[in-house]
């Protein structure tokens, strides 16, 4: 009888522990969830992907480098990110004392969508076979490349967030909307007209009847 009781109590305690790990926020469950995301079992939320892209991509250079990147500079981000993954692998070998966070492929898929949305997506400007070659052995990135933009959840969501955008696309919408309106055309600067009082021949250049007048 005593044995049965011990077994029941042990089971009860174990159940509580498992429930605790699942339902109470704690480092262990956070770790499990972030591993599951990095390995593609759980999807990244758009803003979470945004934070991750900023964190992972500024390990070796500032985001300025990414902000300046443009269609004239090189291939789209879907081909740049695998290139950066190679840098990380090389740095890990050549600089063993510095710690670099690696990018898993599901993370790369999320990160590409972030920069596409914030800086620009010029995948259509390149030949498909060239991009596929640059992507190399990353099958999930290839699948992303072949997915229409409106079916990429992170990219589609962040593309609508104008306030997060950086790079050559920034404010493009606003600028194009204002093109052609008179206040947007540069005008030669006119010196402010001097107020003349014809009765004193312009010698007395201020007007005491003006309510804003002060001495």
Footprint of ligand HEC (CB under 6 A): 56-57, 59-61, 65-66, 69, 73-74, 80-81, 84, 87-88, 91, 100, 103, 111, 115
Identity of the residue, 58 or 207, whose beta carbon is nearer to ligand HEC in the bound complex: 58
Identity of the residue, 47 or 88, whose beta carbon is nearer to ligand HEC in the bound complex: 88
Q: Bin 127: left if φ > 0, else alpha if -120 < ψ < 50, else beta.
A: beta
Query: Distance between CA atoms of 67 and 164, rounded to whole angstroms?
Result: 12
Identity of the residue, 26 or 101, whose beta carbon is nearer to ligand HEC in the bound complex: 101
Among 27, 57, 33, smallest CA distance to 45 is for: 33
Cβ neighbours of residue 176 under 8 Å, at least 6 residues apart? none
Helices (H), the chain: 2-23, 27-38, 46-56, 63-67, 77-94, 105-118, 128-135, 139-145, 153-159, 172-178
Question: To the nearest whole angstrom, how small is the minimum distance from the Cβ of residue 103 to ligand HEC?
Answer: 6
Identity of the residue, 101 or 205, whose beta carbon is nearer to ligand HEC in the bound complex: 101
Query: Distance between CA atoms of 113 and 52, rounded to whole angstroms?
Result: 12
Question: To the nearest whole angstrom, how small is the minimum distance from the Cβ of residue 42 to ligand HEC?
Answer: 20
Question: To the nearest whole angstrom, how small is the minimum distance from the Cβ of residue 181 to ligand HEC?
Answer: 34
Query: Distance between CA atoms of 112 and 60, rounded to whole angstroms?
Result: 17
Question: To the nearest whole angstrom, how small is the minimum distance from the Cβ of residue 20 to ligand HEC?
Answer: 36
Identity of the residue, 88 or 149, whose beta carbon is nearer to ligand HEC in the bound complex: 88
Question: To the nearest whole angstrom, how small is the minimum distance from the Cβ of residue 53 to ligand HEC?
Answer: 7
Identity of the residue, 91 or 157, whose beta carbon is nearer to ligand HEC in the bound complex: 91
Question: To the nearest whole angstrom, how small is the minimum distance from the Cβ of residue 2 to ligand HEC?
Answer: 59
CB 66 within 8 Å of CB 60? no
DSSP letters of 13-55?
A: HHHHHHHHHHHS--HHHHHHHHHHHHTTSSPPPHHHHHHHHHH
């Amino acid at each position: 009888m005593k044995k049965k009781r011990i077994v029941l109590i042990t089971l009860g305690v174990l159940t509580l522990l498992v429930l605790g790990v699942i339902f109470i926020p704690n480092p262990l469950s956070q770790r499990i969830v972030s591993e599951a995301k990095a390995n593609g079992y759980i999807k990244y939320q758009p803003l979470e992907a945004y934070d991750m892209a900023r964190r992972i991509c500024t390990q070796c250079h500032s985001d300025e480098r990414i902000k300046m990147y443009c269609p004239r500079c090189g291939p789209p981000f879907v081909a740049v990110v695998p290139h950066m993954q190679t840098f990380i692998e090389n740095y890990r070998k050549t600089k063993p004392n510095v710690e670099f966070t690696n990018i898993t492929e599901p993370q790369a898929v999320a990160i590409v969508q972030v920069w596409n949305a914030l800086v620009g997506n010029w995948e259509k400007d390149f030949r498909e076979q060239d991009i596929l070659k640059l992507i190399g052995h990353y099958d999930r990135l290839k699948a992303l490349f072949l997915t229409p933009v409106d079916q990429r959840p992170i990219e589609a969501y962040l593309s609508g967030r104008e306030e997060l955008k950086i790079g050559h696309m920034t404010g493009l919408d606003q600028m194009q909307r204002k093109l052609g309106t008179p206040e947007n055309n540069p005008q030669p600067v006119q010196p402010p007209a001097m107020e003349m009082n014809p009765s004193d021949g312009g010698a007395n250049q201020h007007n005491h009847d003006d309510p804003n007048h002060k001495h």
